[in-house]
Each structure stands twice: as structure tokens, then as C-alpha cells.
Structure 1
């Protein structure tokens, strides 16, 4: 299933609005750095690949904007470990 990625800048989160619920990744933006801090998928959407799809689209958006990623969220970290092609986005300090 394809979902539309929404960058809700007022709430500092990326979202999928699915039915009446929101799957989200919260972030902190500081200059050219973006810190992904928390991924949350409502119980009724679990097991449908929503979180992985959300992370993939968020990473693509970060790449398109030329930002450097600091993945503080454990789910995002695990996703990048499983998909090492995204490691190029991670800030090396």
C-alpha cells in the first residue's frame, strides 16, 4: 500500500494519515541536520509494513533535501542496519 508522506513542520513530525489515525516519525531540525527521535504506529496499523514504509519515505525526503541524519530512534537505526544503502545520510562525527 502506498501512503502520502506529510511533513508536518508545525508538529515537527513526518506523518502518514491512514483512515482516522496517524503514523509518525518525530524529528528535531537544526540547520542541515535532522534528528529522527521517535517512530510511532497505532496498534490498528501494526503488522502492515507501515513503519518501514514511513522510514523509507522519510529517508528519501531527507536525501532529496541534502540533510545529514542523526538517527536517535531505535526503529530508524534498525531500518538503516537492514538497508545499508541509507547509511550515506548518517552524520559522521
Structure 2
């Protein structure tokens, strides 16, 4: 993770049909949203990073947290989000999580 981001600033909001990972700092927030597909599968559909966080590794930090959470829960991910798709191609070690 980039040194300007901190994993303790990322929280997960999990609901029955989906949720999001959120990075908050300086009255701004970035998010990665998902929908539940099945008990053991989610669809990550959007990553939004405001200009205030651009170039700080916040999007990657959200993706890393998502992969870590899904790996620990034995979940699989379908990446509809173009950012997550691109990161999955750069991180072949995520193949156990991202389809």
C-alpha cells in the first residue's frame, strides 16, 4: 500500500444485497462498491476516487483491501469495474479471488 494511505482509514459497509469499501480523509471519501451475486461471490462494479486523492494510491489500497477481505472469507469476485479489471491484470496473485 502506498505510504500516503492507511488501511485503518478503509472501512467496509456490508449489507444484505451489497456494500462498499470506503476510504475517508480530509472530509472526502473514495469508494469501491459491490453487489452480492451468491453466498460466495460478489460483483465489484465501481471504484470512485475524488480528485483530492488522485495519485496517492487510494484506488489500489481499496482494491488490496477488497482482495484481502474476499480471500479471508473464501469469496470470489467478478470485476465489472474497469479499474479493478486493470489491477487484476497487473496482480496475477489475485487470480485466486478475481475471476
What is the Cα-based RMSD across aligned positions, in Å?
1.4
Question: TM-score, normalised on structure 2?
Answer: 0.84
Q: Give a deviation string over 1:31-64, Cα, whole Å, max 9, x none.
A: 2111100000011110111111111111111101
Question: TM-score, normalised on structure 1?
Answer: 0.89
Residue in structure 1 matched with residue 33 of structure 2 by the alignment: 26
Question: Contact 2:31–2:48 at 8 Å: present in 1 too?
Answer: yes
Please say if 1:58 is aligned against 2:63: no
Give the alignment of 1:12-51 within 5 angstroms.
12-30=19-37, 31-51=39-59
Q: Give unmatched runs, 5+ long, in structure 2.
A: none
**Secondary structure of the structure 2 residue equivalent to 1:88:** coil
Q: 2:13, 2:85 → 1: CA distance?
A: 22
Q: CA deviation at 1:88?
A: 1.2
Question: Runs (4+) of structure 1 moved beyond 4 Å?
Answer: none
Q: Give a deviation string over 1:11-42, Cα, whole Å, max 9, x none.
A: 71111111211110010013211110000001
